[in-house]
Amino acid sequence: MNFRKIAILIILFSNVFSYGQQYWSKGELYLKNGTILKGFVKLPIVSKSDAVSLIKKGKIKFKLGHKKKVNRYSEPQLEKIILISPDEIRKSFNFILISKKEKALFEVILKGEVSLYRRNVRYASKMSGGGYFDEFFVLKKRKKIAIPLITVGRVGAFRKRALNFFSDCSHVVDKLLNNTYKKEDVKDVVKRYNECNN
């Protein structure tokens, strides 16, 4: 094993450790039976390689306190999840369909005619060694399956995907074509599209 491969493995294992240690957060679970659980929540990790998605089918972990028993919940039991930051900022998470047979957990960024969702994924790369990346999906009202806009390994596909998805809003299309809107502006793109349809 050469030095480069060893370095990549060290980076990956250190990322796994740091991610796992930092993701117990104050939060709330809203169950489909109407129960609301308040305590601490840990979300499962989503991992990807250069070639293929390796989505970890982990359950949501929950405990009432730091030294309390850990319970696990899966998508069929959950309506939504709220994570609360130390400065009391609340982030909402929902399971959404990303294919006919698969749901995934996403943070809700915007709700409207088109809703914007984000998830943080861990990826392994032979070139860079890997790291963490925010993926963004969009979902139109009356549609069931969310569409990817920005994903690991296909960052350059944002413009093409956005032009196709937002094709019925000329303002958004024009700004995409003249490069005013780039992938960093994904939230503004969705906001402007929603204004087109109000």
Q: Give domain status of residue 58, yes or no.
A: yes
Q: Give domain status of residue 194, yes or no.
A: no
pLDDT, residue 122, reads: 86
pLDDT, tens digit (0-9, with 9 covering 90-100), for 7-58:
433 333 334 333 333 479 999 999 999 999 999 999 988 887 654 455 555 7
In angstroms, what CA-CA distances link 101 with 80, 97, 98, 145, 150?
19, 7, 8, 10, 21
Q: Give domain status of residue 147, yes or no.
A: yes
Q: Give domain status of residue 99, yes or no.
A: yes
Q: Give domain status of residue 65, yes or no.
A: yes
Number of domains in the chain: 1
pLDDT, residue 57, reads: 56
Q: Which residue intervals of the chain are DSSP H helices?
A: 3-22, 158-165, 170-177, 186-196
Query: Which residues of the chain carry a pLDDT beneath 50?
Result: 1-22, 51-52
| pLDDT-above-70 percentage for the chain | 80
Print the domain residue range for 17: 3-153
Q: Give the C-alpha separation, 74 to 72, whole Å.
A: 7
pLDDT, residue 4, reads: 45
pLDDT, residue 155, reads: 63
Q: Give domain status of residue 179, yes or no.
A: no
